[in-house]
Amino acid sequence: MIQRRSFLHTSAAISLLGLGACATTASIPAKAKVVVIGGGYGGATAAKYVRLLSEYKIDVVMIEPNYNFVSCPISNLVIGGSKQLADLTTPYSGLSSNHGVTVVRDTVTSIDPSKKTVTLSQGQSIAYDKLIVSPGIDLNFASIEGLKAASESGQILQAWKAGAETVALRKQLEAMPDGGTYAIAIPLAPYRCPPGPYERASQVAWYFKTKKPKSKVLILDANPDVTSKGPLFKAVWANDYKGILEYRGNHKTVAVDARTNTVKFDVQDDVTATVLNVLPAMRAGQIALQTGLANQANNNWCGVNYVTFESTSAKDIHILGDSIQIAPGMPKSGHMANSQAKVCATAVVAQLSGWEVNVAPMLTNTCYSFVDDKRVVHVASVHQIGQFDGRTTFVTVPGSGGVTAAATGATELEGVYAMNWAKNIWADTLG
Amino acid sequence: MKKQTIWNILTVSLLALHTVPAAAQDATTINLKSLAATCANCHGTNGKAFEGSAVVTLAGLPKDYIVTQMKAFASGQRPATIMHQLAKGYSDTQIEQIASYFAAQKK
């Protein structure tokens, strides 16, 4: 109890009332105007911006099981060896001390959309007027035979949620003898972070090239071709990692054999590697699935009204980030989740204040990929509300967006911008 | 239990306060803040980037300067790695609104 209490950061509003002494011993509030589930790029940004945009008049409780925010963007550099996990770790304390968000270190075990309550792991419940659900992805281990057991034993890792597993994968690569093979298996799109697997393969290839030159990287992609920044990655692979990195499309993983460290495909021949990094199919986070919010694409992703990010199946529940059914050209990325969170926060503040909701919100996406320890390529886009297939949705603004110019390819200048992007978005999300 | 009761009383009184919106705040204001916040991912909340950031702080820059630079990025007159692609995503009206907002922010 003491331990949990110490991680409760109570509202600055309480301190303003001269009861700051209660701040470290207060119980979990029974009610909040806005409850946010998940402290990733989506949830943390939403919590902060509801406070900012309401001029600190709307109380926000954010429920998140982890002590600190660990960024997925930049985490492939930990696997490559040029960054440490601490470099991409930010405490949640800024949300409470700077913005008066009540951060509860716990997990939501259920949502009752009719009673408008969430229940925590110890049975306490919190009532809400508005619920913002930003649970990230669920890895669907059932999509690959044998993967669940191999993952739980620590042998075949995913490391697709940054944290201890990121470090564990790095240790497997360090322990691998020179002359070994690292293979990454990629599921069919959509999945979290489209260019992420190719960035990771590039990071491992850079590590091998500099430290274990007899070793190989193998990309086993269920998709027919590289799903993001294809020509840019391929140029780097041809110029810098020739003979080290090999790409194979149309390799859909169906099973793994942990005994022999083998991957099996629906059509292609089996592949055996020294270090296997197998990513299963992905879907909306568990709490969204069990609440019935995942009502799109075979009940894998959550349908939302894009103007408010309110669920198409549950009133006053808004969903953000990787869990949602994407609009055309909308990636599942941290930057996009941050952008969505601001649109959602604006709509939630307007609705709670009795104001009309903005019908023309905007989103941006900026995504940098490191191809070694310093050089970077990007993709960027700007999105506005429009019509697609007879539906109101986000569409990319005609003429906007693009990727790193082919003529320059990966540069150190973009590497500088990428690290500056990271520091600024971490502050925008959590500071 | 006692603490819980205190909390409930506080929550109720805070909720009562929340029902009175501030005069300065309305839908137009938050929509403008929200539009400007599409820049914050890279340029910092309210346009304030971290100390020493290679991505510039927009807060406190003159309005005309921001408008001119955004148009120069969009036209290709000012070379960039990424800003030419992003600048093309905003209308002239939106650029004016964003520029006014950041010009009014303290550095």
Q: Which one has a higher pLDDT value, A5 or A71?
A: A71
- Nearest Cβ partner of B38 from A48, A58, A339? A339
Q: What local confidence, expressed as pLDDT, does residue A27 receive?
A: 72
**Is the CB of residue A251 less than 8 Å away from at least one CB of chain B?**
no
A-chain residues near B14 (CB < 8 A): 11, 13, 59
What is the full DSSP assignment across A215-271? Answer: -EEEEEESSSS-SSSHHHHHHHHHHHSTTTEEEE-S--EEEEETTTTEEEESSSPPE
Tell me which residue of B64, B14, B62, B81 sits closest to A402, measured CA to CA: B81
Q: What is the pLDDT of residues A280-292, one digit of tens each?
A: 999 999 999 999 9
Q: Choose among A83, A64, A63, A65: nearest CA to A73.
A: A83
Looking at residues A358-369, what average pLDDT do you find?
Answer: 97
Do the beta carbons of residue A199 and residue A378 sit within 8 Å?
A: no
Interface test with A, best of B82, B84, B90, B98 (most A CBs within 10 A): B82
Please tell me the predicted confidence (pLDDT) of residue B21.
40
The ipTM estimated for the assembled molecules is 0.91
Output phi, psi for A206, to 5 deg: -65, -40
Q: How confident is the model at residue B9 (pLDDT cuts 50, 70, 90)?
A: very low
Rg (CA), chain A: 22
Give CA separation, A383 vs A73, A160, A376, B72, B75, in Å: 21, 26, 23, 21, 19
A401 closest CB neighbour out of B21, B50, B85: B85
When CB atoms are compared, the residue of A30, A346, A421 closest to B42 is A421
- Residue A176 near residue A215 (C-beta atoms within 8 A): yes
Is B79 buried (19+), middle (13-18) or exposed (0-12) by CB count in 10 A?
A: exposed
Q: What is the C-alpha end-to-end distance of chain A, expressed in Å?
A: 27
Q: Does position A144 have pLDDT exceeding 50, yes or no?
A: yes
Contact between A25 and B42 using a beta-carbon 8 Å cutoff: no
- Tell me: pLDDT of B22 over 60: no
Mean pLDDT for chain A? 94
Report pLDDT for B39: 98
pTM comes to: 0.91
| pLDDT tens-digit series, residues B27-72 | 999 999 999 999 999 999 999 999 999 999 999 999 999 999 999 9
Residue among B30, B95, B100, B17 at smallest CA distance from A356: B30
A414-to-A51, A200, A370, A378, A418 alpha-carbon distances in Å: 33, 17, 9, 8, 6
Residues 34-73 of A with CB under 8 A from B: 48-49, 52-55, 57-59
pLDDT higher than 80, residue A16 = no
Residues A77-136 pLDDT 10s: 999 999 999 999 999 999 999 999 999 999 999 999 999 999 999 999 999 999 999 999
pLDDT single digits (tens) A235-283: 999 999 999 999 999 999 999 999 999 999 999 999 999 999 999 999 9
Write out the two tokens for A356.
């009309």
The verdict on a CB contact (< 8 Å) between B50 and A25 is no
List beta partners, residue A134.
Answer: none
Q: What is the pLDDT, as a whole number, of residue A2?
A: 36
CA atoms within 13 A on the CB side of A272: 5
For Cα atoms B38, A325, A139, give the angle at the middle one, nearest 5 degrees: 105
Whether the pLDDT of residue B6 is over 80: the answer is no
A-chain residues within 8 Å CB-CB of B18? Answer: 33, 57-59
Chain-centroid distance, C-alpha B9: 35
**What digits encode the pLDDT tens for the residues A188-242?**
999 999 999 999 999 999 999 999 999 999 999 999 999 999 999 999 999 999 9
Residue numbers in B near A29 (CB within 8 A): 7, 11
Calpha distance A383→A394 (Å, rounded): 6
Q: What is the pLDDT of residue B25?
A: 74
In angstroms, the separation between the Cα of residue A18 and the nearest Cα of chain B is 12
Nearest CA in chain B to A34: B15
Q: What is the mean predicted confidence (pLDDT) over A329-356?
A: 98
B3 pLDDT more than 70 = no
Interface of A with B in 269-308 (CB under 8 A): none
The secondary structure of A98-133 as a DSSP string is: HH--EEE-S-EEEEETTTTEEEETTS-EEEEEEEEE
Write the CA distances from A90 to A4, A57, A365, B13, integer angstroms. Answer: 19, 26, 22, 33
CB contact, 8 Å: A395 with chain B? Answer: no
pLDDT at B17 over 50: no
Task: Name the percent of chain B lying above pLDDT 90.
Answer: 74
Most B CBs within 10 Å: which of A45, A124, A384, A420, as the mutation test of the B interface? A420
User: Does the beta-carbon distance from A52 to B3 stay under 8 Å?
Assistant: no
Percent of chain A at pLDDT above 70? Answer: 94
pLDDT at A327 over 80: yes
Which residues of chain B make contact with A425, given a CB cutoff of 8 A?
Answer: 41-42
| CA-closest candidate to residue A384, choices B94, B26, B69, B97 | B94
Is the minimum CB–CB distance between B10 and chain A shorter than 8 Å? yes
Report the candidate in A1, A267, A282 with the shortest Cα–Cα distance to residue A137.
Answer: A282
Predicted local confidence at residue A329, as pLDDT = 94
